[in-house]
Amino acid sequence: VGGAGDVASFVTGFEEMSYGDVSLQVKVGVQFGLFGGAIQQLGTARHHERFLPGVLDLSVVGCFAMTETGHGSDVQALGTTATFLADDDVFVLDTPGPEAWKDYIGNAAAHARWAVVFAQLHTAGADHGVHALLVRIRDDDGTPVPGVQIGDDGHKLGLNGVDNGRLAFEGVRVPRDQLLDRFAAVDADGTYSSPIENPTRRFFTMLGTLVQGRVAVAGAGIGAAKLAATIAVKHGERRTQFAAPGDDAPEVRLLDYAVHQQRLLPRVARTYALHFAQQELVELLHAVATGEVTDEEERRRLETRAAGQKALATWHATDTVQEAREATGGFGYLSENRLGQLKSDTDVFTTFEGANHVLLQLVAKSLLTRYRQDFGSLDLLGTARFVAEQAVDVVVERLQARSLVRSLIDAVDGREGEVSVLDRGWHLQLFEQREEHVLQTLVQRLRRLTAEKGAFAAFNEVQDHVLLAATAHVERTVLDAFVAAIDACDDPAVTAVLDRVCDLYALTVVRDERGWFQEHGFLTGARSKAVLRAVNGLCSDLRPHAEDLVDAFGIPDGLLRAPIALREVGEPYLDARERLVADGVLPEPEVGGRG
């Protein structure tokens, strides 16, 4: 999918691969997204011409070797070195010690012949920071080339269809023209040059171009949540348990139990919300990647949104898969019903492409600096200092196109107290007030504490506050996206249901955060109880639409594959399994463990 520069198709197709096999999805992501993407984004025309056709037809199989055993989140601290030898016109790649082995690298343990290696670049005794080079690691028959050591990370919690491995380099000579030199070049005499003078800014610019991976993993998380929610909701519609009193009373479907609705439907609603936010994010990515949008500020907005969306979407996936597993009881524990594999395979989404807590700090950084020109030249400590020194106004910035949101919020003014808990303007206002208040008080604390204790201690002391600011921001942008999607829908029946789903998303966030809202005077105790009642009421209102809501995710039966989700209402499980095997939808069952 998505050749010819169609980034949106690639990322959307990638999301849908969550329905099939997540190991295969990650193999695809490593080869085409990470390896090919790094060549595309960090390389120049000669790299594109020489390598990209082979990346696409798999004659050049590669990996993306950034993380080391000693450093994952802190990429600037990598230990691998690439030292330029002018006499031989090569970089010499070295791993200085065990902590600097490249680690967890997808495709490295078995299949990759090439690697994009991130290393500290040295020329004529000067250190220029982390840069990427294309390095041959195995010859065509798969033998590691001289100087390259390769290990296997072994069995993992999940994704065991991916060969994650370790790499070390000793005096490996890399021709000068294999430096991926879009952002920095080295001449034959060893002269280093870059269009971006500030090294921190250069580093963040380089990493920023790799944003597509984060957008893709966010999508993969949403795809996994869609699959898990579909399996659990369909099971809830088919499975009966206990009967109401009375001789002839039929057994009750799980989804007719209030708590079952309350476990599953808010997660379906959040999946919808994240889906719409993802659509906007993919459109922005596409516009930036195709050059339709060239504005620096939009690029930074893309990076921020990608980081925030990736964190929230992958946590949502982990949460939804777990709830789906429990909501499907013993059936959900059987491998043939897919949730176990999905759970172990998607768990790492919260870690790779940036650990989620670290990503939320990046989101907060851009909020604190308000996407300023010098954004890229600040690390987190620089951000704390910046905030301490500048008079930063805190206002929630919305896209121009959000006049709809503004008018809904303005319509709430003056009616506080009487306004319905289902009023969309009130939801939007609450989300905005939370974001503004959390950010405002964060700025005040950072200013005070930085003066007292210095930037590092200050930032560390307010770290939970930083994460809350980022979360409040992302949840607000997700709600905005949902509201915009409903506005764009021209089918009144669909709009009516989506409106209720959006209410459920918004009020679930308010319910979960009701402690904070009450502590800060945005919600009275009585209104908080009203929110709780509304959430439960919405779950019951939406119950008749539950299966339609998951059917709308459009997962074909051949990909859904879980017998609990595919059996007819009233059809015994074992009969359904037999039918699905006979129809070729399911393979013959495997013999599993006993007890």
64 binding ligand FAD? (CB under 6 A): yes
Q: Specify whether the CB–CB gap between 169 and 127 falls below 8 A.
A: no
* Active-site pick, 68, 280, 336, 353: 353
**49 is an active site residue:** no
Q: Cα–Cα–Cα angle for 545, 337, 322, nearest 5°?
A: 70
Closest residue to ligand FAD, judged by C-beta, is 72
Q: Which is nearer to ligand FAD, 5 or 96 (CB)?
A: 96
Q: Which is nearer to ligand FAD, 60 or 229 (CB)?
A: 60
- Shortest distance, CB of residue 354 to ligand FAD, whole angstroms? 6
Q: In angstroms, rounded to a whole number, what is the distance separating the alpha carbons of residues 465 and 442?
A: 6
* Burial of 53 per CB tally in 10 Å (0-12, 13-18, 19+): exposed
67 binding ligand FAD? (CB under 6 A): yes
Q: 82 has which bridge partners?
A: 93, 121
- DSSP letter assigned to residue 256: G
76 binding ligand FAD? (CB under 6 A): no
271 binding ligand FAD? (CB under 6 A): no
- Shortest distance, CB of residue 164 to ligand FAD, whole angstroms? 5
Q: 68 has which bridge partners?
A: 102
- Shortest distance, CB of residue 186 to ligand FAD, whole angstroms? 23
Q: Distances from the Cα of 85 to the Cαs of 37, 92, 184, 246, 551, in angstroms?
A: 28, 7, 17, 87, 60
**Stretch of 58-66, 394-402, 431-439, 556-564 contacting ligand FAD, by CB under 6 A:** 58-66
Q: Specify whether the CB–CB gap between 327 and 340 falls below 8 A.
A: no
Q: In angstroms, rounded to a whole number, what is the distance separating the alpha carbons of residues 173 and 163?
A: 25
Per CB under 6 A, contacts with ligand FAD among 354-383 are 355, 357-358
Q: 131 has which bridge partners?
A: 119
66 binding ligand FAD? (CB under 6 A): yes
Among 10, 331, 352, 522, binds ligand FAD (CB under 6 A): 352
- Shortest distance, CB of residue 141 to ligand FAD, whole angstroms? 23
Among 23, 44, 200, 351, binds ligand FAD (CB under 6 A): 351
Q: In angstroms, rounded to a whole number, what is the distance separating the alpha carbons of residues 394 and 432?
A: 11
What is the residue whose two structure tokens read 């597509």?
212
- The interface mask with ligand FAD, positions 93-112, x = CB under 6 A, is -----------xxx------
221 binding ligand FAD? (CB under 6 A): no
Query: What residues contact 573, with CB distance under 8 A and at least 6 apart?
Result: 331, 563, 564, 567
Among 33, 37, 62, 72, binds ligand FAD (CB under 6 A): 72
Per CB under 6 A, contacts with ligand FAD among 142-171 are 156, 159, 164
471 binding ligand FAD? (CB under 6 A): no
- Shortest distance, CB of residue 126 to ligand FAD, whole angstroms? 25
Among 30, 282, 430, 535, binds ligand FAD (CB under 6 A): 30
- The interface mask with ligand FAD, positions 424-463, x = CB under 6 A, is ----------------------------------------
Q: Distances from the Cα of 41 to the Cαs of 5, 142, 211, 291, 476, in angstroms?
A: 12, 27, 10, 13, 30
The three-state (H, E, C) secondary structure of 454-520, written as one string: CHHHHHHHCHHHHHHHHHHHHHHHHHHHHHHHHHHCCCHHHHHHHHHHHHHHHHHHHHHCHHHHHHC
- Shortest distance, CB of residue 159 to ligand FAD, whole angstroms? 5
Q: In angstroms, rounded to a whole number, what is the distance separating the alpha carbons of residues 308 and 118?
A: 24
Q: Which residues bind ligand FAD (CB under 6 A)?
A: 30, 34, 64-67, 72-73, 104-106, 156, 159, 164, 348, 351-352, 355, 357-358
Query: Which residues are annotated as catalytic?
Result: 353
